């Protein structure tokens, strides 16, 4: 065979054609495309051993077990734990993105002091020691008639007990709780009967909810949803909330007149509230007379009914007078409430005289609810010092003179007390998964320094576990696998401590027996009189502000709580949830006021004005403005801002029933 020029060309041509039938050129093309698009500016992904760790969510009082998928020691995702009846694997959106909170842009990094100098706000950083010295100086010079107050947003913890002890050591120290904590109806039952109460939702066949967001974050959501198929839900509230939309029956009621319906029900069930006929209830509350009779009949026929009136996390709690009535309703029916071994210790800030707080120390824990600052501000003396012991700059930190950063979620050992809807007492630990930032101080330990009583929270928690072990009562549920071990099977308290630190919760056995017998005539009469007093006091509208403002919030997104920037998916990128400072009105109201969906307006109450975005929603009662307390679109994940009005700032506290209904005016911006 001759090897010539022609052969060479034939070989080259044949090779080129043949190569097309091999993967080589295509692979080169693909790889070069990938190599040239290495996206070096895109964040690098974490690398390391993938492990699973367990903890308990502390972002609200629900006490949901959490499974963290970690790369190295860094949690990269959080999910619920399906193996436990505590939450049945559910975790809310706030909890699902909770591992982002340590990196939140509004994180307080170092202690600092905020002062107003010539009308301008000046911020100066200082050390924790200097912060403690500044507070001590103020405490030493506390004027007569002023007190030092520790504000605990989540009572029922070991930390709460520490605070109560420390308050006694501080100059004219007082321990108070948030005005709005879940479990208000049960707390009232306890105060009326002297027996701590718990609810067995899994055993209920009828739940009548007065404005409680039962299916939108209330209680322990997984436990509520697991029981949902077994009970009929009647939701009483002025607007079509998520819970009302999913309820079996929604009963719209004029804002602030829920007690009238309760009086009508009590009258039909016990005859105690004579005069409150269904027709009278209709004239006061707008609830049709036949609906009143129907609910009463259902309550009478139910084998295990619950009446829950915990209120909306942004809407304010019902007054003690109204709660007496709801508690009496629970006693008047065959109830799913049973006795519980854990008393609820609350002392709402309302109990303090106005302008009496000289130094306010705000704990980092969040009740999950948004309390308008005005509720607290009216208790502050002029020039009072507010200290925020929080991981974030927002919440009470917006109004604080001193901010002392606390560890964020997953950064320190925390405790989780009994959830508001738990059928029995519970306790869990939330072990830290990542190290705390330098400069973060545990609030209880910081306050203990001020009181001159050194305390280490982990030591106190261990003492509590030792006490649990000593009783030998209850059982421990391990999150990994759901294994249940009686406490008496733990040989030492260290074993129990280690189990709780690896992800487990302690729970008391379900108590036997009924909660209480039928209510006494005296109790019923007192409840009726107090509710009538409350109804008579309300309902006066200001002609200059003809609209009724009611506020709502999604649990754990308002007040001291912060949410992951990823929740912009819900507020901004999908409009699934209305962000803070949006005001929903009925189409008739919008037409009357010449306001359009998406337009800007000014909402005015007796306490001030606030810019709002209008949402036209046919689910809102005409004449009512439903405004949202919560993160605003431009504030989720944005740099910290101070100042600016929010809906919470303009709500008017009203005696012992704060801000449930406020007279308001709405005009186009």
Partner 1 sequence: MSTTTAKNAKNARYGMVIDLDRCNGCGACMVACAVENNVPPAQAKATARTGITWMRVENVANGASFPEHRTAFIPIMCQQCGEETPCVSVCPQQAVEVDPKTGIVDQMPQRCLGCRYCMAACPYHARYFNWWDPEWPAGMEKALNPEVAPRMRGVVEKCNFCHGRYHAAKAKAAAAGRRDIDPADYQPACVEACPTRAIVFGDLDDRSSQAAQLAKSPDAFRLLPKLGTEPKIYYLTRRPWVREIASASSPAEVRRG
Burial of 35 (0-12, 13-18, 19+ CB in 10 A): exposed
The site for partner 1, by CB under 8 A, has a size of: 76
Lay out the site mask for partner 1 across 591-610 (x = CB under 8 A, - = otherwise): ------x-------------
Among 66, 90, 365, 652, binds partner 1 (CB under 8 A): 90
343 backbone dihedrals φ, ψ, rounded to 5°: -70, 145
556 touches partner 1 (CB under 8 A): no
Q: Quick one: angle between helices 443-451 and 128-140, nearest 10? A: 50
Strand order in 74-80's β-sheet? 50-56, 65-71, 74-80
314 touches partner 1 (CB under 8 A): no
DSSP 423: S
Stretch that binds partner 1, among 239-247, 260-268, 372-380, 461-469 (CB under 8 A): 239-247
Would you state the structure tokens that stand for residue 76, as one six-digit string? 């990269």
Closest approach of partner 1 to the CB of residue 33, in Å: 7
Of residues 244-303, those binding partner 1 (CB under 8 A): 245-246, 250, 252
Q: What is the C-alpha to C-alpha distance for residues 597 and 642, in angstroms, rounded to an integer? A: 28
Pick the closer one to partner 1 by CB: 252 or 420.
Answer: 252
End-to-end CA gap in the chain: 94
Would you state the structure tokens that stand for residue 228, as one six-digit string? 């949902």
Pick the closer one to partner 1 by CB: 93 or 196.
Answer: 93
Among 169, 172, 242, 374, binds partner 1 (CB under 8 A): 242
92 touches partner 1 (CB under 8 A): yes
480 touches partner 1 (CB under 8 A): no
Among 617, 625, 629, 664, binds partner 1 (CB under 8 A): 617
3 touches partner 1 (CB under 8 A): no
Pick the closer one to partner 1 by CB: 179 or 503.
Answer: 503
233 touches partner 1 (CB under 8 A): no
Pick the closer one to partner 1 by CB: 196 or 313.
Answer: 313
Closest to 658 (Cα-Cα) out of 348, 397, 213: 348
607-636 CB burial, b ≥16 within 10 A, e <16:
beebebbbbbbeebbebbbbbbbbbbbebb
Which pairs with CB-CB distance under 8 Å and at least 24 residues apart come from 22-25? none
Among 80, 196, 211, 368, binds partner 1 (CB under 8 A): 80
415 backbone dihedrals φ, ψ, rounded to 5°: -120, 155
Of residues 566-595, those binding partner 1 (CB under 8 A): 566-570, 572-577, 586-587
141 touches partner 1 (CB under 8 A): no
Among 74, 195, 502, 645, binds partner 1 (CB under 8 A): 74
The position carrying tokens 């170092």 is 110
Among 60, 66, 91, 197, binds partner 1 (CB under 8 A): 91
520 touches partner 1 (CB under 8 A): no
Among 297, 606, 618, 669, binds partner 1 (CB under 8 A): 618
Pick the closer one to partner 1 by CB: 89 or 339.
Answer: 89
Among 61, 156, 184, 221, binds partner 1 (CB under 8 A): 221
616 touches partner 1 (CB under 8 A): yes
522 touches partner 1 (CB under 8 A): no
93 touches partner 1 (CB under 8 A): yes
65 backbone dihedrals φ, ψ, rounded to 5°: -65, 145
Would you state the structure tokens that stand for residue 474, as one six-digit string? 């209850």
Pick the closer one to partner 1 by CB: 208 or 496.
Answer: 208
Maximal C-alpha separation, the chain: 122
Q: What is the C-alpha to C-alpha distance for residues 132 and 402, in angstroms, rounded to an integer? A: 10
Closest approach of partner 1 to the CB of residue 637, in Å: 5
Pick the closer one to partner 1 by CB: 13 or 48.
Answer: 48
Of residues 158-177, those binding partner 1 (CB under 8 A): none
Closest approach of partner 1 to the CB of residue 176, in Å: 32
111 touches partner 1 (CB under 8 A): no
634 touches partner 1 (CB under 8 A): yes
Closest to 612 (Cα-Cα) out of 666, 563, 663, 573: 666
215 touches partner 1 (CB under 8 A): yes
Closest approach of partner 1 to the CB of residue 282, in Å: 14
Of residues 19-58, those binding partner 1 (CB under 8 A): 33-34, 37, 39, 41-48, 50
Pick the closer one to partner 1 by CB: 294 or 347.
Answer: 294
Pick the closer one to partner 1 by CB: 42 or 536.
Answer: 42
Q: What is the C-alpha to C-alpha distance for residues 212 and 180, in angstroms, rounded to an integer? A: 12
Stretch that binds partner 1, among 5-13, 74-82, 175-183, 256-264 (CB under 8 A): 74-82
Burial of 43 (0-12, 13-18, 19+ CB in 10 A): exposed
Cβ neighbours for 466, distance < 8 A, ≥ 6 positions apart: 493, 497
438 touches partner 1 (CB under 8 A): no
Pick the closer one to partner 1 by CB: 77 or 498.
Answer: 77
- Per DSSP, the residues of 174-239 read EEEE-S--S-HHHHHHHHHHSS-EEE-GGG-SEEEEES--TTTT-S-HHHHHHHHTTSEEEEE-SB
Burial of 449 (0-12, 13-18, 19+ CB in 10 A): middle
DSSP 128: H
Stretch that binds partner 1, among 209-217, 347-355, 378-386, 391-399 (CB under 8 A): 209-217
Pick the closer one to partner 1 by CB: 88 or 335.
Answer: 88
């Amino acid at each position: 065979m001759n090897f010539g020029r022609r052969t060479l060309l034939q070989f080259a041509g044949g090779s080129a054609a043949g190569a097309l039938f091999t993967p080589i050129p295509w692979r080169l093309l693909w790889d070069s495309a990938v190599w040239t698009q290495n996206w070096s500016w895109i964040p690098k992904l974490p690398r390391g051993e993938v492990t699973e760790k367990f903890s308990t969510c502390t972002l609200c009082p629900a006490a949901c077990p959490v499974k963290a998928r970690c790369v190295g020691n860094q949690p990269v995702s959080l999910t619920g734990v399906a193996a436990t009846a505590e939450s049945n694997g559910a975790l809310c959106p706030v909890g699902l993105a909770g591992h982002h909170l340590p990196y939140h842009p509004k994180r307080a990094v170092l202690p600092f002091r905020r002062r107003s100098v010539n009308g301008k706000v000046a911020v100066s950083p200082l050390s924790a020691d200097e912060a403690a010295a500044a507070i001590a100086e103020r405490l030493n010079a506390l004027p007569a008639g002023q007190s030092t107050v520790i504000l605990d947003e989540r009572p029922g913890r070991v930390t709460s007990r520490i605070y109560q002890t420390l308050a006694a050591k501080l100059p004219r120290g007082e321990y108070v709780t948030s005005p709005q904590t879940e479990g208000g109806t049960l707390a009232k039952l306890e105060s009326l009967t002297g027996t701590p109460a718990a609810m067995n939702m899994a055993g209920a066949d009828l739940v009548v909810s007065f404005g409680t967001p039962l299916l939108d974050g209330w209680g322990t959501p997984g436990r509520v949803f697991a029981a949902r198929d077994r009970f009929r839900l009647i939701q009483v509230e002025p607007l079509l909330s998520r819970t009302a939309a999913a309820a079996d029956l929604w009963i719209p009621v004029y804002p602030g007149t829920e007690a009238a319906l309760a009086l009508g029900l009590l009258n039909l069930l016990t005859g105690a509230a004579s005069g409150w006929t269904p027709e009278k209830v209709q004239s006061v509350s707008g609830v049709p007379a036949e609906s009143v009779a129907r609910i009463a009949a259902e309550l009478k026929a139910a084998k295990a009914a619950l009446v829950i009136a915990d209120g909306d996390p942004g809407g304010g709690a019902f007054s003690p007078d109204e709660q007496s009535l709801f508690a009496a309703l629970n006693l008047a029916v065959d109830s799913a409430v049973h006795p519980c071994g854990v008393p609820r210790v609350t002392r709402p800030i309302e109990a303090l005289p106005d302008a009496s707080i000289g130094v306010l120390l705000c704990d980092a824990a969040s009740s999950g609810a948004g309390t308008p600052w005005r509720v607290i501000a009216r208790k502050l003396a002029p020039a009072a010092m507010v200290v925020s012991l929080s991981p974030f700059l927002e919440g009470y930190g917006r109004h604080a003179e001193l901010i002392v950063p606390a560890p964020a979620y997953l950064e320190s050992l925390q405790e989780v007390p009994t959830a508001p809807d738990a059928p029995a007492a519970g306790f869990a630990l939330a072990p830290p998964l990542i190290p705390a930032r330098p400069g973060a101080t545990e609030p209880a330990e910081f306050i203990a320094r001020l009181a001159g009583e050194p305390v280490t929270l982990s030591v106190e928690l261990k003492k509590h576990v030792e006490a649990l072990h000593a009783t030998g009562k209850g059982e421990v549920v391990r999150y990994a696998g759901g294994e249940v071990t009686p406490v008496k099977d733990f040989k030492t308290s260290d074993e129990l401590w280690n189990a709780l630190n690896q992800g487990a919760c302690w729970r008391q056995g379900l108590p036997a027996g009924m909660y209480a017998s039928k209510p006494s005539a005296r109790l019923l009469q007192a409840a009726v009189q107090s509710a009538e007093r409350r109804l008579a006091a309300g309902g006066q509208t200001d002609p200059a502000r003809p609209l009724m403002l009611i506020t709502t919030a999604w649990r754990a997104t308002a007040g001291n709580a912060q949410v992951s920037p990823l929740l912009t998916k819900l507020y901004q990128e999908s409009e699934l949830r209305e962000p803070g400072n949006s005001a929903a009105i009925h189409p008739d109201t919008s037409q009357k006021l010449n306001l359009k969906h998406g337009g800007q307006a000014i909402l005015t109450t007796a306490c001030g004005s606030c810019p709002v975005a209008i949402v036209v929603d046919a689910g809102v009662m005409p004449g009512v403005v439903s405004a949202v307390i919560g993160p605003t679109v431009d504030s989720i994940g944005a740099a910290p801002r101070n100042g600016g009005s929010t809906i919470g700032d303009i709500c008017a506290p009203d005696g012992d029933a704060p801000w449930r209904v406020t007279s308001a005016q709405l005009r186009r911006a």
